[in-house]
Amino acid sequence: MGIESQNNEIQNKIREIARDLLKEKKVDVIIGYKKGTLPLVSQPIIIDKEEDIDTLIWNNLCYVNLAKYLVPRVPKLIDPEKGNLKVGIVSKGCVGRALIHLASEKKINLNEITIIGIPCNGIINRQRIEMEIGEQEILEVSISGDNIIVKGEDFEKTFPFEEYMNELCKVCKIKSPPSISKFPNLCVGDYQEYSSLSTDFKDVTEFEAKNPEEKWEYIKDSLSVCTRCYACREACPMCYCNLCFVDQNKPIWFGKTTDISDIIVYHLIRAMHMAGRCVACGACSSVCPMGIDLYLINRKLEKIVKERFNFTSGLDPDILPPMVDFKMEDAEEFMLEED
Amino acid sequence: MTESSLESKKNNKDWEPKIIAFLCNWCSYAGADLAGVSRIQYPPSIRVVRVPCSGRVNPYFIIKSLTDGWDGVIVSGCHPGDCHYISGNLVARRRFAILNELLEFFGIEPGRVNFMWASAAEGERFAVLIRKATEIVKKLGPNKKFEKKW
């Protein structure tokens, strides 16, 4: 079965489930995706009427992590009288993980949420395609068989889907929301058991083997185009601080320029804050206007947390995230010791 | 100081690194004090910032020190289990573990930022570790990566 027909099937299923949920008043609103105004993008949408259901879509361009809209709740999800509305959320694997992780940080209440679980087959790396097309305008994008077909006024290009997926999607093991035994009725769509999560982190170890100078040059080159627009922060479901560290200005303890040292400080601290929390959705890379791919840094975080604390984010709402927990016997091989 | 004179100073053979040391009030600061009153020699390369606990050290302090031109950073706290605040250093240890790996991943030379434990009774150990850290940073040379252009 081709990717396109799979997508259509999932899309029909989402609409069917969403219609039932709204009709039976099990949820007040549904958060999902709708067609974007440009060919290579999609938009998030919040639906509360049955007649709008047909605007819901599913394809390989739905890169936004919808969990973002629950923390903090957007005004549309709060009723002046009823308080928090019951939300149904169209949820691929990483959205499900984000929801579970946010629940473990006590940011959302899973009882108020209904997950419409769907199996995701990977998100297209929009930036890479745009970069290769160059300045020509893309008018139409479609998927046929295993290829992405991009059409413009006087060109038509095909890209193999497997290769032009997000790097994080290529190694993704959790395609649909992970199941939680405590909440058997949480999910109305597909659920996934997560028994085998072994990853070899080949991409990260390859990079780690380089010497410091090479690493620094690579990181510097890839991040130097950053304009500090903070789109990565805005798209990230885990970035919910009321006042982000980069916005604190009393005192101004954080450089605001686009000088390379300030950029790297931003990305370093962003990475610190993501440790043990990143759910590998790739939303940060997908929204970057400069096409910076943060996947390597995010993978590194995943590796550190997996190896040091044997933790994978977004699987169990009852396990404490590693950065708020500690053990007496944590490894301390990096500490300075007498000879 | 103009930039060229700074440059020549850094290329000088007699160059001594400047290291900022975050010492916890209850153990390491007292340990440094003990090293002092016991007249144990250690290099004058460190400048001490007294913090209530190693758990107080925000990773940003460390990175900010590097961007501000310090050649090395040392963070020192009580031994695990001896923290005045019961678990501050244990929380800090996890944080430092991740920061250390991340710094290395970003291409900062390992050894630029050092973490250590030293109790109030370990003046000798404190001096030895400071000597060791100074040597490591001296070998790495001046910290130029984070230098701001303007």
Q: Is A123 left (phi over 0), alpha (psi -120 to 50) or beta?
A: beta
Best mutation target among A207, A241, A261, A307 (most B Cβ atoms within 10 Å) is: A261
Structure confidence at residue A252 (pLDDT): 83
Structure confidence at residue B146 (pLDDT): 83
From B95, B102, B114, residue closest to A271, measured CB to CB = B102
Q: How far apart are CA B89 and CA A44, in angstroms?
A: 43
* A334–B87 CB contact, under 8 Å: no
In the predicted model, is pLDDT for residue B3 greater than 60?
Answer: no
From B59, B74, B98, residue closest to A304, measured CB to CB = B98
Distance of residue A335 Cα from the nearest chain B Cα, in angstroms: 5
* A214–B87 CB contact, under 8 Å: no
Name the stretches of chain A with pLDDT < 50.
none
Structure confidence at residue B112 (pLDDT): 94
Structure confidence at residue B6 (pLDDT): 58
Structure confidence at residue B150 (pLDDT): 62
Chain A residues in contact with B147 (beta carbon < 8 A): 261
Chain B residues in contact with A203 (beta carbon < 8 A): none
CA distances from A132 to A126, A288, A290, B51 (A): 10, 16, 14, 51
Contact B102/A at CB under 8 A: yes
Residue B2: pLDDT band with limits 50, 70, 90:
low
Contact A20/B at CB under 8 A: no
Chain B residues in contact with A332 (beta carbon < 8 A): 80, 93, 97
* A335–B90 CB contact, under 8 Å: no
* A259–B146 CB contact, under 8 Å: no
3-state secondary structure chain B: CCHHHHHHHHHCCCCCCCEEEEEECCCHHHHHHHHHHCCCCCCCCEEEEEECCHHHCCHHHHHHHHHCCCCEEEEEECCCCCCCCCCHHHHHHHHHHHHHHHHHHCCCCCCCEEEEECCCCCHHHHHHHHHHHHHHHHHHCCCCCCCCCC
Residue B52: pLDDT band with limits 50, 70, 90:
very high
In the predicted model, is pLDDT for residue B4 greater than 80?
Answer: no
From B95, B106, B128, residue closest to A216, measured CB to CB = B106
Q: How many CB atoms lie within 10 A of CB A324?
A: 11
In B, minimum Cα distance to A254 occurs at: B64
Arithmetic mean of pLDDT, B80-108 = 94
Identify the sign of the CA torsion A153, A157, A161, A167. Answer: negative
Model-level pTM? 0.92
Chain B residues in contact with A257 (beta carbon < 8 A): 148, 150
* B132–A264 CB contact, under 8 Å: no
Contact B90/A at CB under 8 A: yes
Residue B9: pLDDT band with limits 50, 70, 90:
low
Structure confidence at residue B1 (pLDDT): 46
Chain B residues in contact with A260 (beta carbon < 8 A): 149
| ipTM attached to this prediction | 0.91
Chain B residues in contact with A311 (beta carbon < 8 A): none
Distance of residue A116 Cα from the nearest chain B Cα, in angstroms: 35
Q: Let me know: does A84 contact A221? Beta carbons within 8 Å.
A: no
Residue B7: pLDDT band with limits 50, 70, 90:
low
Tokens of B36: 């002092």
Q: Domains in chain B, start-ordered, CATH in brackets? A: 18-140 (3.40.50.960)
Q: Let me know: does A88 contact A43? Beta carbons within 8 Å.
A: no
Contact B60/A at CB under 8 A: yes
Q: Name the least confident of A164-168, B46-50, B120-124.
A: A164-168
B 1-20 residues inside an 8 A Cβ radius of A: none
